[in-house]
């Protein structure tokens, strides 16, 4: 059993939030500037931080954890908390909320008609998952997927949050910069654009190029994606981390001087270095400049009660949830008054496991429903837009979650004017054995009528004989 000394752990979590506040305040005045910058210090008044949505949204996720418990979080829960507590409609925030209000559940809410799915809104809010799952990047990235897919679907923005969540979780155990970057990369597809941009930055540093040249190469490679996108901006904070060479101020100043989404690059790098060093080791003058307050800009304070007023109060509440998360997931990690002993958590133990990599390949745009005895993933392989008379395919993947086989009766309650062309009414779902995965994929084909109602809503009902829980799978199409 690995153990974090609770006093040392407090300093690291507090360092995360103070570091986030420092970097965000340093970068906010330059947000959106696309040219190369020469940032040398704070430009905001001393004594308080500048408000930053990167931190705000994580206060909502903390509330969700406290309300629902460590095992009660999934993408649909976080989607509902979005709608209740996060008013802004900026970029992917607005797209994700608009899609959910129209009836699309996550991750469809992050995929449908979303020109911002590769943007920065997810990886900037990953620290909460890392602090609650220290030294357990497999768990931190599980939460990060639930979070990111709400407004980024299966885009690069989601891969970016998987990367930062893994790095931040591992940073509680590992301090070596290059090993941490390797760990983060192991949790995302090697061919994704986020990984490509990070590798350009690393290659530039290894070749002895100046940081400005590294930034230029990243910018050129990401030109097709445009402004405010995750691949380039994640690479910008990696550039700051590499070329800062262990100096906290130098690292953040370089990251912010790369421009673009500067509060995000500064805030995320500030939090990573804060976890590694702890709050006590951060520059005293920069800590004094921003103080301890939390000033919000992107959450509904009238509806979200118990908002922590300071980073210290936030740290205490997060640590209470850390204990619950570690216990709920039955991790080999504890917090106590005993000395820190992280034996077994270093090296390859922090890299993505084969089990995780299998899960990564299954992270799709499918809607997932848990009916206790059966887990169902619903996918729309040819989209949800439908024209009069058009046939549409729905793919159902059923997974037996109990140690017994069962018969499932399937009923279809389709939108007005729709008819079923293909799809069975009864299946026998085997349980998992040495010769059976306990999984079954069904294809359903429906045809729209000549007049399409909007919204086009329906339900597929699954009834397992001898089981009280009925599975209701909502269907939704948009008529064109």
State how far the Cα of 266 lies from the Cα of 255, in Å rounded to an integer: 6
Q: How far lies 470's CA from each of 190, 306, 367, 425, 476, in Å? A: 40, 36, 17, 15, 19
Counting every residue written for the chain, the total comes to: 480
End-to-end C-alpha distance for the chain, whole angstroms: 57
Q: How far lies 142's CA from each of 18, 75, 189, 383, in Å? A: 25, 10, 15, 26
**pLDDT at position 386 over 80:** yes
Return the sign of the alpha-carbon dihedral for residues 153, 154, 157, 159.
Answer: positive
State how far the Cα of 298 lies from the Cα of 431, in Å rounded to an integer: 46
Report cis status (omega within 30 of 0) of the bond before 107: yes
CA torsion 171-176-178-179 (nearest 10°) is -60
Single out the residue of 162, 138, 126, 75 nearest to residue 326, CA to CA.
Answer: 138
Q: How confident is the model at residue 455 (pLDDT cuts 50, 70, 90)?
A: confident
Q: Model confidence over 242-292: pLDDT tens digits?
A: 999 999 999 999 999 999 999 999 999 999 999 999 999 999 999 999 999
Q: How confident is the model at residue 347 (pLDDT cuts 50, 70, 90)?
A: confident
Return the sign of the alpha-carbon dihedral for residues 302, 88, 119, 26.
Answer: negative
State how far the Cα of 169 lies from the Cα of 12, in Å rounded to an integer: 11
Q: How far lies 73's CA from each of 78, 164, 289, 307, in Å? A: 7, 19, 36, 19
Predicted structure pTM score: 0.97
State how far the Cα of 444 lies from the Cα of 423, in Å rounded to an integer: 4
Average pLDDT value for the chain:
97
Rounded to an integer, the average pLDDT of 375-385 is 97
Three-class secondary structure of residue 88 per DSSP: coil
Single out the residue of 37, 42, 216, 20 nearest to residue 124, CA to CA.
Answer: 20
Farthest CA pair distance, the chain? 71
- Percent of the chain predicted with pLDDT > 70: 100
The pLDDT value recorded for residue 73 is 98
Q: What residue spans of 342-474 are helical by DSSP H?
A: 354-361
**pLDDT at position 438 over 80:** yes
Those residues whose C-beta lies under 8 Å from the C-beta of residue 208, and which sit 6 or more positions away, are none
Q: Are 449 and 389 in contact (CB under 8 A)?
A: yes
The token duo for 260 is 């673009």
The pLDDT value recorded for residue 354 is 95
The pLDDT value recorded for residue 344 is 84
Range 173-189 burial, b when 16+ CB lie within 10 A, else e: bbeebebbbbbbbbbbe
**pLDDT at position 346 over 80:** no
The pLDDT value recorded for residue 454 is 85
Three-class secondary structure of residue 25 per DSSP: helix
The C-alpha angle 172, 178, 183, rounded to 5 degrees, equals 60
**pLDDT at position 142 over 90:** yes
State how far the Cα of 25 lies from the Cα of 41, in Å rounded to an integer: 10
- Percent of the chain predicted with pLDDT > 90: 96
The pLDDT value recorded for residue 74 is 98
The pLDDT value recorded for residue 472 is 98
Q: What residue spans of 36-136 are helical by DSSP H?
A: 53-68, 75-85, 91-101, 108-111, 127-132
Residue 340 phi/psi, 5-degree rounding, is -65, 130
Q: Model confidence over 42-76: pLDDT tens digits?
A: 999 999 999 999 999 999 999 999 999 999 999 99
Rounded to an integer, the average pLDDT of 203-220 is 98
Three-class secondary structure of residue 124 per DSSP: helix
The pLDDT value recorded for residue 434 is 82
């Amino acid at each position: 059993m690995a153990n974090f000394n609770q006093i040392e752990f407090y300093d690291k979590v507090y360092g995360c939030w103070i570091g986030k506040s420092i970097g965000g305040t340093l970068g906010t005045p330059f947000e959106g500037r696309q040219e190369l910058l020469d940032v040398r210090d704070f430009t905001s008044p001393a004594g308080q931080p500048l408000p930053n949505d990167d931190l705000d949204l994580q206060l909502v996720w903390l509330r969700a954890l406290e309300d629902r418990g460590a095992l009660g979080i999934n993408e649909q829960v976080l989607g509902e908390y979005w709608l209740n507590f996060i008013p802004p409609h900026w970029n992917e925030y607005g797209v994700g909320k608009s899609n959910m209000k129209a009836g699309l559940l996550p991750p469809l809410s992050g995929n449908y008609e979303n020109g911002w799915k590769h943007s920065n809104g997810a990886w900037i809010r990953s620290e909460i998952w890392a602090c609650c799952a220290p030294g357990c990047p497999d768990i931190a990235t599980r939460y990060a997927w639930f979070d990111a897919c709400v407004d980024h679907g299966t885009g690069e923005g989601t891969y970016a949050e998987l990367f930062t969540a893994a790095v931040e979780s591992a940073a509680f155990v590992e301090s070596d910069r290059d090993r941490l970057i390797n760990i983060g990369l192991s949790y995302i597809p090697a061919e994704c654009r986020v990984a490509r941009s990070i590798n350009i930055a690393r290659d530039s540093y290894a070749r002895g190029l100046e940081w400005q040249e590294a930034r230029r190469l990243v910018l050129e490679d990401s030109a097709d994606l445009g402004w405010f996108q995750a691949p380039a901006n994640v690479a910008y904070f990696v550039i700051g981390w590499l070329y800062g060479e262990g100096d906290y101020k130098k690292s953040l100043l370089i990251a912010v001087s790369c421009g673009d989404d500067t509060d995000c690059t500064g805030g995320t790098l500030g939090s990573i270095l804060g976890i590694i060093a702890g709050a006590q080791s951060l520059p005293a003058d920069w800590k004094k400049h921003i103080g301890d307050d939390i000033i919000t800009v992107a959450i509904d304070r009238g509806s979200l009660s118990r908002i922590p007023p300071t980073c210290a109060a936030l740290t205490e509440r997060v640590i209470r949830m850390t204990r619950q998360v570690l216990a709920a997931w039955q991790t080999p990690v504890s917090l106590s008054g005993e000395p820190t002993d992280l034996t077994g958590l270093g090296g390859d133990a922090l890299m993505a496991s084969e089990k995780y990599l299998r899960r990564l390949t299954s992270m799709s745009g499918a809607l997932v429903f848990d009916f206790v005895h059966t887990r169902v993933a619903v996918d729309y392989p040819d989209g949800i837009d439908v024209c009069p008379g058009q046939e549409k395919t729905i793919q159902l993947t059923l997974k037996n979650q109990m140690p017994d086989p069962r018969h499932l009766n399937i009923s279809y309650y389709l939108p007005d004017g729709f008819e079923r062309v293909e799809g069975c009414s009864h299946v026998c779902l085997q349980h998992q054995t040495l010769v059976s995965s306990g999984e079954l994929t069904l294809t359903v084909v429906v045809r729209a009528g000549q007049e399409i109602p909007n919204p086009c809503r329906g339900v597929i009902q699954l009834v397992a004989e001898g089981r009280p829980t009925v599975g209701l799978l909502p269907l939704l199409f948009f008529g064109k």
